[in-house]
Amino acid sequence: MFGIQGRLTLLFVVIVTLVLGISGTYAQYSLGHELEVSSQRLRQGVLTRLQTSLPSALWDLDKAKVDNIVAAEMMPPELVSIRVYDTSVGLFSGKLRNENGTIASIENDAAVGGTPVVADLAYRDSGAAGASLKPVIVGRVVVNFSRAQIDATLAAEVRRKVTEVLLLDLILVAALALSLRIVFDPLKRLRDGLFDLATRGSDEVEELPDSRHDELGEVIRGFNAIQRKVKSNIQRIREAEDEARKSAQATAKAMDDLRRTQESLLQAERLASLGGLVAGVAHEINTPVGIALTSASVLMEATEKVQAAVQDGNIKKSDITRYLETASESTRLIMNNAYRAAHLIHSFKQIAVDQVSEARRRFELRDYINEVVSSLQPKLKKTRITVSIACPPDIMLDSYPGALAQVITNLTLNCVEHAFGPDDEGRIVIGVAQQSDWIEMQVTDNGKGIPPDMLDKVFDPFVTTRRGQGGTGLGLNIVFNLIAKQFGGSITVSSVLGQGASFVLRMPCVTPTDDHILHADARLHA
């Protein structure tokens, strides 16, 4: 492909050639027209003179005069031959121009080259009285004209024009080659500089010499200024990249620290919940165990009295009757309180083991919710809040009971701590409905409700309305993570301020494996 310099040269050459070609064509046409007109005048003049001078000589049969007239008219080189014919004898006289330009007489009526023009020769005789008689045809003249002179002149003109065009093109090419170098040599250096700036390091590219004092010098100085600016920008970019790399490393380290801290807080939150459960259960067990111990002490004291009376031999029926009544009452109290303590210990043990081990097993949902709510009774007894459960029987889950206990505990205690005041009466309803292979659990309260500006952020970590009052803002975040990541389900919240809040959980009856949950989570984020 031609460069700009070659294309400009070619363009100028084509334009000049076209202009000169059009001009030469017009000049050639004008010259041909002039030659044709001149040739036509020559023919007309020759024929006119011959028709004027030949008839009288031919009438008198004066061959010498005819030959002289014909020879005189043969002077122009355009004439090839002149033949004069008499009406009676045929060829009377004739002259022929040879190839060497000499003029010779025509002895016979042979073929002659050129273009023949035939004209009649008419003789007019004036009578004695001077009256003009009717013209008499005494012969004819045949004149052969040649176009060789015209063609030679036109061909010479064409050669001259072609030579002129070629010479001008050569001069133009040479002039353009010399003149365009003034422009394109600096442009080539500028191009090479741009290429080096684009492909090589900015530190390796030297500035172009800017000693010119014309427009191209201004362009080169502008390029050098841009190059300096680019070098400065590249240096700043490198420094910024180094800073960004350091910041990214620091951010990654901070994220790792934050992740570990969050995991620690989550574990602490779960352990705190378990610790509260332990404290509440211990407090609840203290009463039935104390009653059972007191009843056992009373029974032991009554037994010792009866045993002493038997040993002394003065036992009475009334003593035995009183002892039996005391033993019966003490036994009843011991059995009832021992059963109550055993039930609390069983519920606590099952829930505590589930939360600590995080093992997966099959369990019946309604009984497990009852056990979780029973383990929360020490906390609920200090409030005026009632918890009711609406769950159909025989809903079996193959899942993680410890994680589910954590979810129910966090949702219930969240309602207790945020939806009601310390002395407010309230109601929390845990409703469950089965939909094919899924369950929908709804935890609803009739408390204060959630402000609209907080509704979209309740599941975010560290978001709480009890900052500085023991709230960490991790309870609902733990619930969201357990439902989404461990159960492969979803949770939503709705609330009207002053009319309570409702948390709706959807999860499969058979919790999918970790791989399926990861794939589903990836599709959700995609």
Instruction: Read off the CATH number of the domain in which 52 is found.
Output: 3.30.450
432: enclosing H helix or E strand: strand 425-435
E-state strands within 58-186: 79-86, 90-97, 103-105, 115-123, 136-145
Per the model's pLDDT, the better-predicted residue between 278 and 184 turns out to be 184
> Is 191 part of any domain?
no
**Tens-place pLDDT, residues 144-172:** 888 888 888 888 888 888 898 889 888 88
**Nearest of 63, 76, 146, 70 to residue 104 by alpha carbon:** 70
Residues 288 and 402 in one domain: no
Residues 351 and 363 in one domain: no
Please tell me the total count of domains within the chain: 3
> Is 8 part of any domain?
yes
Residues 333 and 446 in one domain: no
Residues 379 and 261 in one domain: no
CB 495 within 8 A of CB 455: yes
Residues 23 and 156 in one domain: yes
The neighbour count for residue 192, using CB atoms within 10 Å, is: 12
> Is 344 part of any domain?
yes
Q: What's the 3-state SS for 23-49?
A: HHHHHHHHHHHHHHHHHHHHHHHHHHH
Residues 331 and 419 in one domain: no
Q: Tell me which amino acid residue 431 is.
A: G
Tell me if the pTM is above 0.85.
Answer: no
Residues 375 and 491 in one domain: yes
Residues 349 and 364 in one domain: no
Residues 345 and 217 in one domain: yes
Q: How confident is the model at residue 260 (pLDDT cuts 50, 70, 90)?
A: confident
> Is 427 part of any domain?
yes
Residues 235 and 335 in one domain: yes
Residues 387 and 508 in one domain: yes
> Can you give the residue range of the structural domain that contains 298?
208-356
Q: 136 has which bridge partners?
A: 123
The domain boundary residue, chosen from 306, 331, 356: 356
> Is 98 part of any domain?
yes
**Tens-place pLDDT, residues 499-525:** 899 999 999 999 987 655 555 454 444
User: Mean of the per-residue pLDDT values for the chain?
Assistant: 80
Query: What does the pLDDT read at residue 463?
Result: 67
Burial label for 352, CB within 10 Å (0-12, 13-18, 19+), is middle
Instruction: Read off the CATH number of the domain in which 457 is found.
Output: 3.30.565.10
> Is 77 part of any domain?
yes
User: What SS3 class is residue 22?
Assistant: helix
> Is 129 part of any domain?
no
> Is 283 part of any domain?
yes
Residues 9 and 154 in one domain: yes
How far apart, in whole angstroms, are the C-alpha atoms of residue 40 and residue 142?
A: 16
How far apart, in whole angstroms, are the C-alpha atoms of residue 366 and residue 277?
A: 20
